[in-house]
Structures are given as C-alpha cells and as structure tokens.
Amino acid sequence: MDRSAAPSGDIERLRTIFDGQQAAHRRDPVPSPARRRAQLRRLGAAIKAAAPSIARAISADFGNRAPQETMVAEVFTSLEAIRYTARHLVRWAKPERRPVSIWHRPGHAELLRQPLGVVGIVVPWNYPLYLAAGPLVSALAAGNRVMVKLSEAAPRFGETFARLMADTFAEDEVAAVNGGVEIAEAFVRLPFDHLLFTGSTRVGRDVMRAAADNLTPVTLELGGKSPAIVCDDFPIAIAARRILYGKCMNAGQTCVAPDYALVPAGRVEAFVAAAGRAVQGLFPTLRAPAYTSIASDGHFARLAGYLEDAARMGARLHPLHPEPSDPVARKLAPTALTNVDLGMRVMQEEIFGPLLPIVPYERLADAIGFVNARPRPLALYAFSDDRGAVDRILGNTMSGGVTVNDTMLHVAQDALPFGGVGASGMGVYHGREGFDAFSKLRGVYYQRRFNGAALLQPPYGARFRRLIGVMLR
C-alpha cells in the first residue's frame, strides 16, 4: 500500500481542479438532461472500450483477480447503472407538481431537482471501478461536476481510470485524482457541495469530521459484519452454495459479502459439508486465476491472524478445499469456523476475506436477537421459503439492504436505493434515490396575481377573526 506523503503541489492541484469545476458550475448551473445523458453515454462507451485494460489493472493490483469477476461485478454493473439512469433521467429531472392546500390556492407548488454543484467521491480498492462509476453516474445524472479520489491501494487501476476520465471528460466536468492518505485528507477538506465516501467505518468517521468544517453533506458507504440467517425449512445445500459464492467472490473482499452464517444448531454439520462441496464445485483448484488473491500481504496476515486467534481460543477450523493456502500468491483457502466465541477477532471485526464463522441457533428469535445485539449491518441475508419467517426477520432486524434466498444481488438492482444504516453508513444512492442524493430538492411556490393572502395580513379586523376561526377549527 502506497502511504507515501504527497508533495504539496498535488494538494494545490486539487484546489485548482475544484475551483475550475465550481466556476464551470456557476457558468452552467443546470446542464440540460440531454447533455447529462450524453455524458453518461460517453462514460459507458469509455468503460466498455477500456474493460480489458481495467480488468488487467485490477488483477495486477490484487496480485490476481479473475477478469470474469471484474466483468460481472464491475463492468456489467457499471454499464447497467448507466443504461438504467440514462433511460430515466429526463423524467427524474422534470419539475414535479405537488399539491397545495385550499388556503394557498389558486397558487401552485413544484419540486425542482437541481444540481448541487461540485461533488466529491472517495473510492476504496476492493471494487474500484463500480464504486467510482456508480456514484459518478448518479452525480452526473443530477447535473453536477465531479471529482473522484481513487484508492492508493489500487494504483494501477487508479492510473488507468484517471487517464480514461481525462480522455473522456473536460477537467471541469469530471476529474479523477490519485495519491496517498495526505491527498485523501486534503480531498475531503475541499468545500464540496456533497461528498460520498466508500470505505471503512473508521476512516468514515474522520471524513465526516472533516466535512463538518464546511457543512458539506456526506453519504457514507461503510462496512460491517453482514449476517446470513439460514432458516430450518430451507434446503441446506442451496443455502451453503449461495452463501459460499457470496463469500468467495473477490475472495470475500466485498462490503456486502456474508460475514458469518446463523445456522440451526442441528444442521451445522450438514452445512459445513455442503459448504465444502460448494467451494470445490466453484473452484476445482484455488491456483487457477478464477480464485482471487487477497489484495495485500497486510490483509493476508490479518486474515491468517484471525484463524490463529480463533484456533487458540477453541474454534474448530474446517478447510473447505483440499488445497492449502498459498501465502506467496496470497490465495487464502476458504475456511469455515465452528465453536466460535464472541471474544474472537473473527467475530468482532469485519472479516473481508474467505473465512466463514458459523453461529448455531436454537430458535429464530435467538438468531434475530444475535443480529440485533450488534451494530446494524450493511446487508442481511435471509434463507427461507416461509414468508412468515422472512417477514419476521425483515420486521425485527435492521440493515442497509437485504437479499432473500441469495446473497449480494440487492446491490445490482438499479431501481433500489443502496446504502448502510448506523455503523454501516448513512444516505443512499443508485437509481432514483441516487439522483435525489446529488440534487437539491428545491421547493417552489408560485403565487397568482389575485389571491387571498392579504386576508390574513394586518390590520387585523373582523374579517381576519372570522377567517382564522375557520382555519383553526
């Protein structure tokens, strides 16, 4: 990870880009929907054309990441978001008539959605394309200028994407910047009109503090421990397969990966056996490029440390693949853990890797209680064909989003808002809600030449008394 200090020249450069974008916004504060749609199309064409080099850059940053994973989880999702948003944005941008009460007629009211101005986006390393392009799509659709800060932990992607943006947009439309933590800190101190940060809860706190000095509103897309609850009625092999796919995609380095599984006590053994079959079905060998590497030695050591810590404290480790981990290639063998204890690091910290603690439960109420005793997660997964059980889980827990009977797929629904709650974040984007997140929802009341407003103004006489008597009835 490049944590080198950035020369102050780079920090000055941030300010220059910001000033240029702000001036451009003032010159053209409400770009036409046609122009915004053209920007989205340009972005889509650029991503599509560069997809192979993007996949290569990300793979090099990770040590190895399956290009197929990049195509499915980053390129396809980004292009879908662009298509969906381009299709709807003309309608979203239209003034919306809102009702007025009888007392304010014959005037009328409208809600305008106007661009905020200059938006900042901070991107993590784990899905660097989708987590840059997703917010960028919403912010451009809403008519903003956008500065994107890419992650120093994905430097090759950072270079590729910054070049792509420079080739595709004028600097006062979209500018992508790279740099270490010092640049990131300077970036979030810019007086943006809105700042969207995706990353860890710890850094999210610092970002919100820095934004507070400028009263910059923030959307925080953070992480956490997302549970998967398997109900007694659900076929255990199907649940195991879907949970392990979610766990092993990007080798578990996914904000919405199922972090741990709550499994009926009597079915834990069957679940572990099915999990092993699922992993070996997905990845006949861990050595092949299809299985992604842990992105850095630091993260590999952190995950290996979780296993050691858990084993020392009495957990049982169940390797889900016959091949061992390879620290040189940073391939970590998927492993289930049973007999876990809440004091273990693997049960306290966000795992962000292919380790799956299994927590047994007796009654559904116990599983719900377990989830509710911890910070509100980014995602929750419920596996049941019993609508009553699913409704009980949905009605008695809280999380950023939910997929029922699978993992992660709620994120790919462009018509659904995406965002955490509590420790997993605040605010939402994607689709209509993303358009709104980067718009000023500006209420406008249009008065008519002839109206009754004067009836309530001084001097207060008998007519006022009669009228207010009716109004306060």
Let me know how long the chain is.
473
Using CB under 6 A, which of the segments 78-86, 218-226, 426-434, 460-468 binds ligand NAD?
A: 218-226
Instruction: Please count the CA atoms within 13 angstroms of the CA of 465 that sit on its side-chain side.
Output: 2
3-state DSSP call for residue 211? helix
Residue 9, both tokens = 């020249």
Residue 255 touches ligand NAD, criterion: CB under 6 A: yes
Interface pick for ligand NAD out of 43, 350, 393, 437 (rule CB under 6 A): 350
Smallest distance, Å, CB 186 to ligand NAD? 9
Residue 405, burial from CB neighbour count under 10 angstroms (0-12, 13-18, 19+): middle
Q: How far apart are CA 97 and CA 24, in angstroms?
A: 29
> Cβ closer to ligand NAD: 126 or 144?
126
Which residue in 221, 231, 248, 350 is the catalytic one? 221
Written as one string, the DSSP assignment of 258-286 is --EEEEEGGGHHHHHHHHHHHHHHH-S-T
146 binds ligand NAD (CB under 6 A): no
Active site residue 248: no
- Region 221-250 residues binding ligand NAD, contact defined as CB under 6 A: 221-223
Q: How far apart are CA 301 and CA 240, in angstroms?
A: 26
User: CA 451: distance to chain centroid?
Assistant: 48
Cα separation, 335 vs 108, in Å, equals: 62
174 contacts 196 by C-beta, under 8 angstroms: no
Select 198 or 216, whichever has its Cβ closest to ligand NAD. 198
For residue 294, the number of C-alpha atoms closer than 13 Å in the C-beta half-sphere is: 24
Kindly list the distances between the CA atom of residue 269 and the CA atoms of 127, 226, 233, 311, in Å, as whole numbers in the listed order.
Answer: 33, 22, 16, 18
Cβ 54 to ligand NAD shortest distance, Å:
17
Among 18, 84, 92, 125, binds ligand NAD (CB under 6 A): 125
Candidates 378, 390, 423, 428: give the one binding ligand NAD (CB under 6 A): 378
Catalytic position from the list 74, 173, 255, 350: 255
282 forms part of the interface with ligand NAD (CB under 6 A): no
What is the smallest separation between the CB atom of 304 and ligand NAD, expressed in angstroms?
18
CA distance 393 to 398: 9
Q: Answer yes or no: 231 catalytic.
A: no
In the range 176-215, which residues lie near ligand NAD by CB under 6 A? 181, 184-185, 188, 198-200, 203, 206-207
Min dist CB 307 to ligand NAD, Å, is 19
Q: Does 129 bind ligand NAD (CB under 6 A)?
A: no
**What is the smallest separation between the CB atom of 366 and ligand NAD, expressed in angstroms?**
26
Query: How near is the Cβ of 415 to ligand NAD at its closest, in Å?
Result: 18
Query: Helix, strand, or coil here: 340?
Result: coil
152-181 binders of ligand NAD (CB under 6 A): 152-153, 181
Instruction: Count the residues of the shown chain that bind ligand NAD, applying the rule CB under 6 A.
Output: 29
Nearer to ligand NAD, 264 or 420 (CB): 420
Output the smallest distance, CB 66 to ligand NAD, in A.
18
CA-to-CA distance for 17 and 147, rounded, in angstroms?
8
Q: How far is CA 285 from CA 58, 280, 322, 333, 334, in A?
A: 21, 7, 9, 10, 12
Q: Which residues are catalytic?
A: 221, 255
Per CB under 6 A, residues contacting ligand NAD are 122-126, 131, 149, 151-153, 181, 184-185, 188, 198-200, 203, 206-207, 221-223, 255, 350, 352, 378, 420, 425
